[in-house]
Structure 1
Amino acid sequence: MRLVNRLNQFQRLWQPSAGEPQRVTVAELAERCFCSERHIRTLLRQLESAGWLRWQAQAGRGKRGDLTFQVTPEQVRAGMMEQVLNRGQHKNALELAQLAPDQLRHLLQPFLGGQWQNDTPTLRIPYYRPLEPLTPGFLPGRAEQHLAGQIYSGLTRFDDDGELPVGDLAHHWRISQDGLCWDFYLRSTLHWHNGKPVETQQLQRALQSLLADREIARLFASVAHLEVVHAQCLRIRLHRPDYWLAHRLALYCSCLAHPDEPDIGCGPFRLARFEADLVRLESHEFWHLSHPLLKAVEFWITPQLFDREMGNSCRHPVQIAIGQQDELVHLRPVSNSISLGFCYLALRREGKLSLAQSRYLIDLIHRSGMLDTLPLDEGLITPSSEMLPGWRLPEWEPDETALPASLTLVYHLPVELHAMAEQLKRYLADKGCELTVHFHPAKTWHGCQRLGEADLVMGDRLIGESPAFTLEQWLRCDNLWPHVLTARQFAHLQGTLDAVQRQPDETQRREGMREVYTMLMQDAAITPLFNYRYQVSAPPGVNGICMNARGWFDFTRAWLPPPGTQ
């Protein structure tokens, strides 16, 4: 990149005097810039023409000239960044930013948040880590799950309240009287992100590809086959009734990509760039629902912004800041909530712990103040005594029972479970129980070799839309449950889930799931530990921010007032 090279050369000229006037020879300048005397003369003319410096040479070889600087490297860099951003050269902007990591937060400040660039409303979000590929199917991170729902569309989606499925690619659907045949009537205006019309056979192939995935297949275990009955009708036949089917199709993991080009969907935003330091979404002009006012959303992957000693622009992944927090007055919390998702402790039912010991351990966690004294940032978590609101922990008579001499705990991310594991280890040591701790450095149980030997398991359960249904999906698809429950218990659980899904009435299905989890908690197989406090902060001028169930916000609702109208 020529601009970066030129800035590097300018910095080499600047550094010896930190911007003070210099008396220097052409040979000395050439040595600084690792170039010939002929080239340095050309460079000085170019930089003088750009207004960066003034060079007054003296006649005679080896004579010292006067070098005066008109601008600082920081001013040059900021001007360059604005120039390349206006041209849409986002990669170049990040290359310029990385030249000064010690000043990165200050440098990026004017360009984050809501910006109009070339009459294009753009939202830039600083993010603390690279994003995983946005492939169809299950994704471990909240950010990836949210982005998948912005890029891809499914046959159905959840309504604005996040509770019930409504039409998306399908305008509506019809269910046969026996619940075994579901006809989805597709909209006539569907287009892929490449501008080509969506064909029903393509959606059939995309859904068949999803069902070939082993984990997704568990979610859709009742599906027998798919068939195209009309150019605008896709039929799904079932082995057994499943009145959660429209919910399953509305999940982010069930959104459909182009069967031949998996980066292409037909959601409100198309994926314009996906790199380690920049992810850019651009609005899809052929989207079939209400078009977003934002034209672009960018994730600037800048881990340097999140150094705790420097002060984070994002205190924690669950507390998102659009723009910087150098001056808190410029950012305001615009949406916050207690997450329905929770960190949990599962207790193996055929291990060292008896039912009485398992219940005593759960009592120890919830009644000893252990959760209240975790060494975590204030306001980050809240201890939980409910699986979901109204699904309270059962009560039993306190009974201090001797624990086994040793237990094994396996846990995965998030990082707060590090503190929880150490806290639990100390408390159990006081009770004469040695806790051996193993950490699985991932967000799911994939590839965890120690899960089968664990007496205790800790993890995080994200809850998206339709919480009762999401917890049904967890029991069906997560590798946790076959390790926690005995084979007989797990088979009985799956049979119970099959019975619940046969209920046409939504309220009855939710009540059925509440009873399932009440029994799991009563049997001391699972207990919630704590919920997170989600928060989104934004600078003035960024509007339409409303937090969703995953702690993010719908990009289709956010908007920026045009310049001069605020």
Structure 2
Amino acid sequence: MLTAERYITLQNHYVGPGASESEEQEYEATLEELTGLFHCTERNVKMIVKKLQEEELIKWLPGRGRGNRSRIQFMVKRESFLLRFAQQLAEKGDYRYAFEFLHSFEEDKHIVDQFIKWLNEQFGVKQLSANHKDKDVVHLPVYRTVHTLDPGNLYFGFDSHLVRQIFDRLVHFDSEKGQIVPMLAHYWEGNEDGTEWKFHLRKGITFHHGKVLTSEDVVFTLNRLRCSQTNQWILETIELVEALDDRTVKIILHQPNWLLPCLLCSSCVSILPKDLLTQDEPSFWSQPSGTGPFRVAKWSDNSIELAVNDSYFLGRAYLDGVKIVFLPDNIPNRSKVKWENLINNDARVPSQAGGDWELIETLSKSCLLISWNRNKTGPQQSLAFRQAVNLIIDRSGMIDYSGQQGYPARSFLPKEDTSYGIHRHDVEAAKKLLQESGYDGSPISLLTTEADCIDAQWIQKQCALIGIPVELTYTGKNALTKIGAGQESDAVLICLLFADDEICELESFLQENSIIHQHLEPGLHNWINSIVKEIYATKSEEKRRVLLQQIEYRLHDEAQLLFLLHRKMNTYVHPSIRGLVINNLGWMDFKDIWLISSLTAKKA
């Protein structure tokens, strides 16, 4: 990058930004001038000139005789050079540096548009030739990185989605059928009171490194999750896990838990190979081995590449591979707006809405909400104050302000009537409640991530209408996963994803690093724990749903949580792609995708 900056520095000095360039034009120059330009010695200037000549960027014509100045000729036009260099950075995976490089030259803003247009063509379906055979690989850009592939420490939906491509669970929740179906276990059974369970494994399943799956791997995985893992709450009712033989696992509980099979559907309970993890756990996570439809072929700070598992027990995937490129989340806003045309809603697939591309529109099973910190002194301790903030926030206005599509939220999950967009927004009632609360005008602190900054700014504007100053603080998404992350703030604005209804709602209440869990005051926390114990002991799914609703109703009635928005996701799909379905994590399952030729797609 240093060589590129020096070349542009020379061009700016001799040609000038935006000036027309002639391929044959020469400019008079001296080594003395260049020492001042580069702020270095004449010896270093000679090395710089030599380097630029070696890369065929300039020609240096030394002056002959007294009074004859040297001359410099630029071999690559400024615009071509900037674009080419940014492309080289991108091809190496240095997308952040590519954007930073281009945006350091304000006079060349139009080149950013050309770069984005070029970058647009780098993603999508690629046919790569290897050993005289075509391999179908999908290249996807995303505005995020992988925080962890360790199932026990999962927190974000994107990580969970990738884990499901690499690992498998004992059982799987089929959202279309609305029931639990076999996965690694082909059959399971519980005793009469739900305190003992047996899971029977399929034969012949192998991990990516060739080891055959046995019940010992299951016992190891469950015991590992129970010990000091972020998601150990999932198995909190387990007293003992034992292998009855190579393919039978027995689980003994210290209390009835009819929800156990559903809990075991969670990505957090993905089964791991005992042999590799007990040998060298740190190195295992650099290239983990699972039983899933894809294996990790390469993983760096810039991308992750998945290769197909040819011997997957549920059938080989059509795709030969998937390459996911991590794009910088903090690129300048001017580019990001244009970039969203390419990777709408975090880039499930390249999304140019032109020609015969198909639009897939879904309502995300997520909720943007405010969680109040009831374990910190401040105005948020008043119910009337929390209700006042709830009434002053215009959800429809928030949707218009952010430019995102969605609906006002009244609960964790969208319901059948969500699309009606009904919500209560009442400025006068908010003012009255604020007066009743005895609010003294002190500011409240709201913590959120950069991704939700526009929504946070809308909340700040709305609260100002009734005299509540809001101080905004931004942090990284990963920081919100730390225990104690939101304890210094009065409230946290966060978007929660609910993959499997019962499990994900429970996760919000029970997971130690959950913002909601950390914000509950002790009395409310104990009451929720008593309801959860009853949920576990309830065999009826309908009754469990009612019990979960009781928790949600109380959180709503006490304005502990302010439900704000459910967001819509729009994904444009190339006509050659088939089998794409947005799953309950908001992503597409790579195993289900298949392709047809472009010619066939046009005839269809």
- Asked if structure 1 preserves the Cα contact closer than 8 Å seen for 2:93 and 2:303, the reply is no
**Deviation for aligned residue 1:96:** 12
* Alignment partner, residue 34 of structure 2: none
* Cα separation, 1, equivalents of 2:489 and 2:303: 40
* Alignment partner, residue 130 of structure 1: 145
Assess, with a 3 A threshold, how the Cα gap between structure 1 residues 440 and 241 changes in structure 2: closer, same or farther: farther
- Asked if structure 1 preserves the Cα contact closer than 8 Å seen for 2:139 and 2:322, the reply is yes
- Asked if structure 2 preserves the Cα contact closer than 8 Å seen for 1:409 and 1:436, the reply is yes
- Asked if structure 1 preserves the Cα contact closer than 8 Å seen for 2:96 and 2:328, the reply is no
Deviations 1:134-172 (A, max 9, x none): 222243433222112211111122214284332221112
Q: Percent identity?
A: 16
Assess, with a 3 A threshold, how the Cα gap between structure 1 residues 92 and 182 changes in structure 2: closer, same or farther: same
**Deviation for aligned residue 1:468:** 3.2
* Alignment partner, residue 508 of structure 2: 474
**Deviation for aligned residue 1:129:** 3.3
Q: Tell me whether 1:540 sits opposite 2:575 in the alignment.
A: yes
* Cα separation, 1, equivalents of 2:157 and 2:182: 23
Q: Tell me whether 1:111 sits opposite 2:122 in the alignment.
A: yes
**Deviation for aligned residue 1:545:** 1.9
* Alignment partner, residue 225 of structure 1: 240
- Secondary structure class of the residue paired with 2:217: helix
Aligned amino acid, residue 194 of structure 1? H
* Alignment partner, residue 108 of structure 2: none
Larger displacement relative to structure 2 (514-523 or 439-448): 439-448
* Cα separation, 1, equivalents of 2:417 and 2:117: 47
**Deviation for aligned residue 1:439:** 2.9
* Alignment partner, residue 590 of structure 2: 555
**Deviation for aligned residue 1:361:** 4.1
- Secondary structure class of the residue paired with 2:210: coil
Q: 2:303 aligns with which of 237, 256, 278?
A: 278
Deviations 1:378-405 (A, max 9, x none): 233422123332799999x979332332
Larger displacement relative to structure 2 (514-523 or 306-315): 306-315
* Alignment partner, residue 297 of structure 1: 322
Q: 2:526 aligns with which of 473, 486, 491?
A: 491
* Alignment partner, residue 51 of structure 1: none
Higher relative contact order (CA 8 A, sep 6+): 1
- Asked if structure 1 preserves the Cα contact closer than 8 Å seen for 2:373 and 2:489, the reply is no
**Deviation for aligned residue 1:277:** 1.3
- Residues 402-413 of structure 1: pairs in structure 2 closer than 5 A: 402-406=436-440, 408-413=444-449
* Alignment partner, residue 256 of structure 1: 271
* Alignment partner, residue 228 of structure 2: 213
Larger displacement relative to structure 2 (105-114 or 221-230): 105-114
Q: 1:525 aligns with which of 535, 553, 560?
A: 560
Aligned amino acid, residue 368 of structure 2? C
Q: Tell me whether 1:312 sits opposite 2:338 in the alignment.
A: yes
* Cα separation, 1, equivalents of 2:474 and 2:525: 24
**Deviation for aligned residue 1:440:** 5.7
* Alignment partner, residue 65 of structure 2: none
Q: Tell me whether 1:194 sits opposite 2:230 in the alignment.
A: no
Deviations 1:254-277 (A, max 9, x none): 213334134421111111111111
**Deviation for aligned residue 1:285:** 1.4
Deviations 1:321-344 (A, max 9, x none): 35656x642584532222232122
Q: Tell me whether 1:451 sits opposite 2:487 in the alignment.
A: yes
- Secondary structure class of the residue paired with 1:468: helix
* Cα separation, 2, equivalents of 1:483 and 1:11: 52
Assess, with a 3 A threshold, how the Cα gap between structure 1 residues 356 and 535 changes in structure 2: closer, same or farther: same
Q: Tell me whether 1:175 sits opposite 2:199 in the alignment.
A: no
- Secondary structure class of the residue paired with 1:556: helix
**Deviation for aligned residue 1:303:** 2.8
TM-score by length of 1: 0.77
Deviations 1:277-323 (A, max 9, x none): 11111111122113221111111223399643234333698713356
Q: Tell me whether 1:426 sits opposite 2:461 in the alignment.
A: no
* Cα separation, 2, equivalents of 1:95 and 1:412: 23
- Residues 331-342 of structure 1: pairs in structure 2 closer than 5 A: 332=357, 334-342=359-367
- Asked if structure 1 preserves the Cα contact closer than 8 Å seen for 2:380 and 2:386, the reply is no
Higher helix share: 2
Q: Tell me whether 1:511 sits opposite 2:546 in the alignment.
A: yes
- Secondary structure class of the residue paired with 2:243: strand
Assess, with a 3 A threshold, how the Cα gap between structure 1 residues 315 and 551 changes in structure 2: closer, same or farther: farther
**Deviation for aligned residue 1:21:** 6.0
- Asked if structure 1 preserves the Cα contact closer than 8 Å seen for 2:298 and 2:305, the reply is yes
TM-score by length of 2: 0.73
Q: Tell me whether 1:268 sits opposite 2:293 in the alignment.
A: yes
* Cα separation, 1, equivalents of 2:374 and 2:97: 56
Larger displacement relative to structure 2 (194-203 or 384-393): 384-393
**Deviation for aligned residue 1:121:** 0.6
- Residues 84-95 of structure 1: pairs in structure 2 closer than 5 A: 91=92
* Cα separation, 1, equivalents of 2:97 and 2:465: 50
- Secondary structure class of the residue paired with 1:329: coil
**Deviation for aligned residue 1:480:** 3.8
Larger displacement relative to structure 2 (469-478 or 111-120): 469-478
Assess, with a 3 A threshold, how the Cα gap between structure 1 residues 351 and 318 changes in structure 2: closer, same or farther: farther
- Secondary structure class of the residue paired with 2:346: strand
Deviations 1:427-484 (A, max 9, x none): 341xxxx445363614435243652673xx2333523333233212221225445554
* Cα separation, 2, equivalents of 1:6 and 1:22: 22
- Secondary structure class of the residue paired with 2:545: helix
- Secondary structure class of the residue paired with 1:309: helix
* Cα separation, 2, equivalents of 1:390 and 1:520: 21
Aligned amino acid, residue 552 of structure 2? Y
Q: How many residues align?
A: 533
